[in-house]
Structure 1
Amino acid sequence: MTDSLATPIADNSEVVLHFDLKLADGSAAESTRVNDKPAKLVIGDGNLTDSFEACLLGLKVGDKKSFTLQPEDAFGMPNPDNFHHLERSKFNAEAPAEVGMILAFSQPDGSEMPGIVREVTGDSVTVDFNHPLAGQVITFNVEILSVN
């Protein structure tokens, strides 16, 4: 029987961890500690960037680590093709065309995608469908809770 406390994170490891995600200015972007709901992930399943996974490899239960990723290694750089200009008439009181608003937009397949209103000029509304953290330098603070 192996001691799961001593098992290092490797490919295909199922990992439960707490993380805090901070922007370059020190502001908090996300934290699993707020609601005390740790994240669960599988190394190598494609849900995380290779750079993020590489930072976790070799860590064990109880380890705490902080690492900083450049935009291209975290959520990528903003893609100009993900900025769309929509008619102001497509917005209403429930979904206002106000700069900074994050709204859900229906996709042709029925799914929803979040977009951030970046600019409102006359009848044109510019919506950014890039990941909200695209282009940001991100610092992760992780605490490994379990490795299987």
Structure 2
Amino acid sequence: MSDQIREITPREITHSGEVTLHFAIALCDGTVITTTFEGEPVTLTLGSGDLTENLEKTLYGLKPGEKQSLILEADNAFGPRDEAKAYFMPRSSFPPEMELEPELVISFATPAGDELAGIVQELDEAQVKVDFNHPLAGHDIVFTVEIISVNHP
């Protein structure tokens, strides 16, 4: 055994690797959108799209055991709201038995086979306005994290 003592420091979060953490996203008025603090932490692979790039960047440099709570303006969270992402679609594009109402979230298949969520904004007998913005687009948020562990490949 060596007489040298080596200090082991916790790994800090960088642009790659896995992070196990608790997190919460809330509106600035205190409305909690999602949280893991009352349950199990989640493990995310940075750079995989589990979090938006802007949310990932807020984690860089944090180490296991650290907590952080930040207010992110809309442009730095889920982006600004874009009216061009809200479309009127013919009512006939939806199954006749589908009960459409404002705030209903509908899953649409893209030509590439991915799923895209849209939120019904308004409707009448002829058309339905569907918003494809992220539900938090245009909102400032509070992003709170507690880092449990960091693993790099």
> TM (normalized to structure 2)?
0.82
Equivalent pair of 2:18/2:43 in contact (CA under 8 Å): no
| SS at 1:56 equivalent | coil
Asked if 1:22 corresponds to 2:2, the answer is no
One-letter amino acid of the counterpart of residue 70, structure 2: F
Measure how far apart 1:40 and its partner are.
Answer: 1.2
Shift of residue 46, structure 1, vs aligned partner:
6.4
Distance in 1 of aligned mates of 2:58 and 2:12: 12
SS in 1 for 2:108: strand
What do you get for the CA RMSD once the two structures are aligned? 2.3
Structure 1 window deviating more from structure 2 (128-137 vs 8-17): it is: 8-17
> What does 1:1-148 align with in structure 2 at a 5 Å threshold?
3=8, 6-33=10-37, 35-42=39-46, 45=47, 47=49, 48-92=51-95, 95-148=98-151
For the residues of structure 2 that align with 1:95 and 1:76, how far apart are their CA atoms?
31
Tell which deviates more after alignment, 112-121 or 102-111. Answer: 102-111
Measured in 2, the distance between the counterparts of 1:22 and 1:93 equals 36
* Contact preservation (8 Å) 2:16, 2:45: no
3-state SS of the aligned residue for 1:133? coil
2:3 alignment counterpart: none
Q: CA deviation at 1:2?
A: 7.2
Aligned length: 145
Q: Give the direction of change, closer, same or farther, for the CA distance of 1:143–1:33 in structure 2 (3 Å limit).
A: same
The structural deviation recorded for 1:74 is 0.6
Aligned-partner Cα distance in 1 for 2:94–2:77: 32
Partners of 1:34 and 1:87 lie apart in 2 by 42
Task: Give the letter for the 2:68 counterpart.
Answer: K
Against the structure 1 CA distance between its residues 40 and 50, is the aligned structure 2 distance closer, same or farther, given a 3 Å change threshold? closer
TM-score between both structures, scaled by the size of structure 1: 0.84
How far residue 49 of structure 1 moved from its aligned partner, in angstroms, is: 4.4
Does structure 1 conserve the Cα–Cα contact (< 8 Å) formed by 2:23 and 2:144? yes
- Bigger radius of gyration: 2
Shift in Å, 1:87: 1.3
